[in-house]
Amino acid sequence: MNDRTRSRRLLAYGLPAIYQAALRTSLEGAVPVEFTASWRLLQERLLAELQLVLLVVVPRAEPTLGSARRAAGSDASAGALEQLLGVRERFPHVPMVGVFIEGESDFTATARLGSAGVADIIPASRLASPRGMVELVQRYEGEGVALRVWKQAGLDINSESATMLRHALMLAHRPVTLPQLARALRMHERTLRKHCEAHGLPTPQHLIGWARCLMVAWYLEEPGRSMQSIAEVLGFSSPAMMTNHVRRYTRRTPSDLRAHGALRAVTRLLEAQLAETTVPDVLPVETARASGDDLTRPRLRLI
């Protein structure tokens, strides 16, 4: 099975046994989960597997003697926080979620992990929520896809556009609002609008729309993906709504893009628009109209 079609797995590091049991129950049959207390094995798994969400216990910034002794069984020590910060730096493509456990974690370590780019911090009680944990893994599957889309697209755009588009991509597995993008960029909505105007950028809503088009293009290149399946994965209410969105930005249908290298085609169209050049043709519009394709009808096997 190739990298695009594998499901994301959850790897839990240093999680106490009582919380392991709760997590197993929550994710049973829905998401593969693996537990390890070995620092060496953790690094080996991160090197070998791209499709992981890493779940770690938020340590104390300065462990007490008792907590240091309890952590010894997981190859951790007073340097547990530094180890996790090192993982975040070495494996930026792996979404890391921290678990805050009363008596084991503190807010200083939480703040340092947050500033290092940890995707989320959740309370230990959430581990017993089946719906909450499945949704969490699905959300960070989207983050991992976004990183791969960005890398493969290789967009040749200015740094200001790139920063905002990357953040929009991280959210683009679901409909994205301006307030959501502003929060991701740590800006007020008005500040974000003014920032775009000052740098001659498209509106934030326009960049959000393009990010959604890039996501559609990525899934169009997956073998066996139907239009219905892609619409469901990306939170469009129907394949027709997805088609309308793509046509609004690219002037092409998803079927047109799929037939001509979807991700490359959308990348070229976006680069051209941001550079304010003539938008290159991917496929003449007349050709698409003449084909008479029913874009709401899946053309490939639904997976």
Q: According to CATH, what is the number of the domain 154-291?
A: 1.10.10.60
- Residue at 191: amino acid letter: T
CATH class held by domain 9-142: alpha beta
Which letter does DSSP use for residue 62 in this model? S
Q: What is the mean pLDDT of the chain?
A: 81
Contact 158, 275 (CB under 8 A): no
Q: Largest Cα–Cα distance in the chain?
A: 74
Q: Do domains 9-142 and 154-291 have the same CATH topology?
A: no
Q: What's residue 7's pLDDT?
A: 55
Q: What's residue 10's pLDDT?
A: 92
Q: What's residue 280's pLDDT?
A: 47
284 three-class SS: coil
Q: Give dist(CA 285, CA 283) in Å, integer.
A: 6
pLDDT digits (tens, 9 = 90+) for 221-233: 887 788 998 898 7
Q: Give dist(CA 248, CA 273) in Å, integer.
A: 13
Average pLDDT over residues 77-91: 83
Which letter does DSSP use for residue 272 in this model? H
Q: State yes or no: pLDDT of 1 exceeds 80.
A: no
Q: What's residue 50's pLDDT?
A: 61
Q: State yes or no: pLDDT of 161 exceeds 70.
A: yes
Q: What's residue 271's pLDDT?
A: 92
Q: Where are the domains of the chain?
A: 9-142, 154-291
Contact 56, 96 (CB under 8 A): yes
Report in angstroms the alpha-carbon separations of 260 from 63, 129, 155, 179, 264.
56, 43, 18, 34, 8
Q: What's residue 15's pLDDT?
A: 95
pLDDT digits (tens, 9 = 90+) for 248-278: 999 999 999 999 899 999 999 999 988 864 4
Q: Check: pTM over 0.85? Answer yes or no.
A: no
Q: State yes or no: pLDDT of 71 exceeds 60.
A: no
Q: What's residue 4's pLDDT?
A: 42
Q: State yes or no: pLDDT of 208 exceeds 90.
A: yes
